[in-house]
Structure formats: C-alpha cells, structure tokens
Chain A
Amino acid sequence: MPRPAGFDRLQQAQMPLRDALRGVSRIAEATESALEPAARLLPDPIRAPFHHALKSMGKVGNRLTKTSVSSQQIKRASCFLTGADRSETALMDCVVSFAHGWDSLTREGPCREEAISETLLSELFARQPMQPEPVGAEQAAQILVAIDRSGAIARMPSLAPAFDATAHALVLIAIATWLLTDRAETREGEESLLALAYALVRATCKEPHETLQDKTRLKTVLTDWADHL
C-alpha cells in the first residue's frame, strides 16, 4: 500500500505528540487565567488543587513541547526559507525552527492563545512550489503568506480572547526576519537575535497585518530588516 504524502515526515520527531501537548499546555494556561475570578469563590481546600492541576498541565506541556534546535538546524532552516536548500532535512529543520521561534516569542507574550502545529506546518512546507533558483526573501515571503492563510498557527478552540491579527503578524514576520539574517556565533546568540528581531519588527512595522497579505511588500521589508538585524 503506498504511503500517503508526508507519511515519513509525520513519523519523525514526534511532531503530532508535541502538537497535542502544545495544545493542552496552552489551554491549561489560558483556562487558569479565564477561570481566575470564579476560582476565587472556591473554598481553599478545592482552590489550591485546582490551581496546582492546571499549572502542572501547563508546565509539563511546555517542557515536553520545548523544541531543541541546534545552530546547525537554524542554519539549514534559513537555507530552506531562501530556497538554497530544498532537502527533507532542511524542511524539517525549518519546521522545528519556526515552532521554536513561535513558542519562544509567544509563551510569555503576545498570542498566548494561539498554538503552532508542526504537523500542519511540515505539510504546508512540502506543498510550497519552490523557485527554480534560490531567491532569498522572495521564497520566504511566499512561505510566510502561505502560513498566514493556513491553519498551521491558530487560536485554540474555546479560548475566549479575540484573535489579535497585528500581534500574530508581528510574531510571524519576526521569525522570518530572524531566520533570514546572518547567523549568530553561538546558540545563546540566536536566542538574543530572535528577541531582537521581534523588537525590531515591532518598532518598525507600521501595518503588520497588511504587510503579511502583500508578498511584494513583505519581500522588501524582510530583506531590509534582516540586513539591519
């Protein structure tokens, strides 16, 4: 029986499991905040275990989904994003690097209710038409627009806060800016660079949501910001 497209990728790296845990952890964190006013009405003996249970779910989920990305993987992810490396390995490295970027920038900050699915992202990347020659930010812009139009990063069902299109776009553009810039010398340096990419995009991008809809504009700003990061 022929394997469905993408079967090999799904077998790798326990992506579906990480996706599920990521969802559980985000729901647990958001549920705790959402139920905080009601939880105050609970008697102490019940309230403490309730908080403890949700906190544990959130922590365990965060720990288990924390993607470990090496400098080499980030480098290959960058090459995939520019079209310079179209190998399966580079594709997978781009998936985990994107997931790492999303988790790092949103865990304590914006878009906490949105979770990234590595499984959907890998399928999306595999479907992307690749340019015949490496084209730098043009390929990256095409991929970013495709991510935005897909359900690979989405708000968890049943979570109350409204979708923040601006914050969503800022984080996505920041991750692409980070991956497109010259690599840092150390792994720790990559984390600083990711945070700086977000700060730079936030300070510079006036219409993030509109920018994310426009491939030509996106290509220009990604090139510019990656150069200045």
Chain B
Amino acid sequence: MSQATSISETSNVPLHKSAQRLRWFVDAFQKQVAETEAQTGNLFALDTAAMTEAFAEWMRAFEAQKPLHDEDKPAYVGFAAGLMLSNLIRFNPARVADIATDADSAKPAYFWPEGYLYVSFCLNVRGMILEKDYRAEQHPNSALEELRTWWSFRENARENVSSAIAYLDLFAGDEPKWNMPELFHSHSGGRSSLPSQNHASIRTRISEQ
C-alpha cells in the first residue's frame, strides 16, 4: 500500500484541523491518486463534484458525532477515517479508466482498484494524523493484503456502505466494531449520537467465512 508522504503539509495548523477543509481534502486526494497510479499502473478519472459530495456528506456525519472529551479524540480519528472511506465508496469520485497491462487480479489493487485507492488514502491520512497530532502509531493488519478479506469487504460495502468503517479499523490494526459501525463508541462514557442511517449489523463477517 502506497504511503502518500506528499499528502502531509508543513503549516503550523494541526493536521486533523487541515483535514476538515475541502481544499486540503481535494489536494491530498489528488496526490494519493497520482501516487497510486504510479505504484499500480492503474489510471483513474476523477469527478470533482462527486469528491465534493463525499466531503460534504463526511463533514455532516463527522460534526454529528464529534466527541466532547479530549481522550476520545484519537479514537475519533480512526472513526472519522472510516466515515470518509464509506463516503468515498458511496460517491465513488475516482473511477478506474485503465487497468495496468500486467494486472494480477489476485492482488487487492487490481481486484478492486477504486476500493484500494480509497483505503490507501484513508489509511495514509489516518496514520499521519495519529502520528503528527497524537503521537500514536498505526500498525496495519496483514488482512490488508488478503484477497479473501477484500472480497468480503467489497460485498459487504455494496450491501451496507457503513461496513467500510469496520473494515478500515481491521486494515489499520484496530479492533473492528461490526455492530453499528456508523456509531462512534465513546471511551470516556461521553455521548455517542445516533446518526439516522441503517443500523443493521454486517451480515457476513470475515470470521464467518
């Protein structure tokens, strides 16, 4: 998975604040696309309107569940990255225009090129924010390279896009919350507001395959 180091910026503003701005998101996403294209040989066509829709919807969901307590903030970074992944999958702002000639469909990057791009972006942003703003490290799980997991991820995301939040936790090496993944679970006993979405649990989990 490509590490989009160029996503980062040098300003004094904390990265988690910059990431809440559309200008930063568009710039960072375009850099991720360029890096993923260089890494995989796949080419993507970008839809700016869909990118903005994904960001706007993410912003709404992000604001709706923002934690009240500081100790919840690092966990919320992971949750917010998952929310972003679910919205990227929903609005699909990057469509693969050309697959690499030597593509091996047993590899995640070629099995689901858009999903791979979105996961790369969300994991990279998640990891950088945790590292720069919260001095925490991200340790991606080996499931990230497993086609079986990606097959399950794609099927579940098609059925319930919120399941992407749990899958990103899994890929990032965290404990996924398969039940109601769209609901942030406060560690400090603070509130967790309920978004008005489908709360059905994910039917097919990796452990059941």
Contact = CB atoms under 8 A, between A and B. Distances in A.
Interface string B91-132: 000000000000000000000000000000000000000000
Interface string B5-32: 0000000000000001111001000000
30 contacts: A184-B23, A192-B23, A193-B23, A196-B22, A196-B23, A196-B26, A196-B52, A199-B22, A199-B48, A199-B49, A199-B52, A200-B52, A200-B55, A200-B56, A202-B49, A202-B52, A203-B49, A203-B53, A203-B55, A203-B56, A203-B57, A204-B56, A204-B60, A227-B20, A227-B21, A228-B20, A228-B21, A228-B22, A228-B59, A229-B22
Contacts of A202: 49, 52
Main secondary structure of the interface of A (DSSP, over half): helix
A200 B49 CA distance: 9
Contacts of B60: 204
Interface size class of A (residues with CB under 8 A): 10 to 19
Contacts of A203: 49, 52-53, 55-57
Interface of B: 20-23, 26, 48-49, 52-53, 55-57, 59-60
A228 B24 CA distance: 10
Interface in A153-203: 184, 192-193, 196, 199-200, 202-203
Contacts of A228: 20-22, 59
Given A196-B26, A199-B48, A199-B49, A229 B56 contact: no
Contacts of B21: 227-229
A204 B52 CA distance: 9
A129 B49 CA distance: 37
Contacts of A204: 56, 59-60
Nearest to A199: B52
A202 B48 CA distance: 12
**5 nearest A-B pairs in the assembled complex, by CB-CB distance:** A203-B56, A199-B52, A204-B56, A203-B52, A203-B53
Contacts of B20: 227-228
A221 to B, nearest CB: 12
A193 B60 CA distance: 20
Nearest to B11: A185
Contacts of A227: 20-21
